Amino acid sequence: MTEAVATRAGAPTAADWSAAVSTIRELAPAGRVLLICHVNPDGDALGSMLGFGLGLRRWGVSELQATFPGEFEVPAPFTALPGLELLVPEAEAYADPELVLIFDVASESRLGALIDRLPRARATVVLDHHASNTGFGGINLVDADAAATSVVAEELLARLDVPLDAEIAECLYVALATDTGSFRFDMTTPRVHEMAARLIATGLRPGEISRRIFDSRPFGAMKLFADALGRAQLDPTAAGGHGMVWTYATLDDLERHGQRPYVLDALIDPVRCVAEVDVAVVIKQLGAAEWAVSLRSKGAVDVSAVAVAMGGGGHRLAAGFTGHGTPGDVMVAVREELAKHLIP
């Protein structure tokens, strides 16, 4: 069994990459390989995992599954991704894999019931880009400077000498475009555009992918967004005077408009566009008194530190956590934390 290699600040070291490559080469060809991403997977989680899975299959790995915890539902924007045939519900995932590869997961709490596969495996490799990553894997490829986990996945495929094809590239491109907000966020660096160019060179059609991922939404979702935006509240004194806007959406909203929960992932986009504030908060109901909370900042607040203080995690300008009580209760706690984590 491979010895643990601790996560490090910044990018993985040569020792980290070497450990990951040698472990995969040793265990993957003749063993059961299980790929896992986080609960309620987004484009980066699914795209990185499926792109890497397709790469392993092309490399010759035959016993290969991909999964995620919780309800087995792929959000509509991602139902055309190549590699979906690799996905299985968590109950059907290998119970005793030789190798577990984990994508876009900053802490074990995001693995749900699948956490029991980690101690059963001979080795675990974590691919991630969250600065809040806890280093829970045996080998941790955590690049806090990467715009998406797909950046780490592409680098590992290259080190395994797996060439890109159009299917692998589409998965990684969707992941990259998702986490950069279609190449609009601050993490969109020259490195990001260089990677996008490599992926597009395989024959991708970026316009078609963009329409599918970003510009296609059910009419019912639009009506639901109208309800949620109508109850938005502006707090110009929050975040040390930098201002905050927040709103919430309930399970009743989803039922009334006939929508699935994943449509709310995009609700943060119109909320964060409010010109008068730095921080945007969207609260989405999960249960009777349980809420998924999404945080965004334009640069005045480290919302990752806010989320970590609330039991979650993420990035400096984009993070989240699970809150309890009423939306008002959640916002009291958020407002208190915002003032503690201003960026100098």
Q: In what order do the strands lie in the sheet with 313-314?
A: 233-235, 244-249, 279-287, 290-297, 318-324, 313-314
Concatenated DSSP letters of 288-322: TTEEEEEEEESSSB-HHHHHHHTT-EE-SSEEEEE
- Say which amino acid occupies 35: L
The span from the CA of 305 to the CA of 295, in Å, is 11
Q: pLDDT value at position 7?
A: 38
For the chain, percent of residues with pLDDT exceeding 90: 89
The CB density around residue 242, as the number of other CB atoms within 10 Å, is 21
Q: In what order do the strands lie in the sheet with 123-128?
A: 64-67, 33-37, 99-103, 123-128, 139-142
Question: Tens digits of per-residue pLDDT, 29-39?
Answer: 999 999 999 98
Say how far residue 206 (Cα) sits from the centre of its chain: 21
Contact indicator for 100, 144 with CB cutoff of 8 Å = no
**Which stretches in the chain have pLDDT values below 50?**
1-9
Q: pLDDT value at position 20?
A: 98
- The average confidence (pLDDT) of the chain is 94
Structural domains in the chain, CATH included, are 14-214 (3.90.1640.10), 219-338 (3.10.310.30)
Question: Tens digits of per-residue pLDDT, 294-322?
Answer: 999 999 999 999 999 998 888 889 999 99
Question: Tens digits of per-residue pLDDT, 90-116?
Answer: 999 999 999 999 999 998 988 999 999
DSSP class of residue 204 equals -
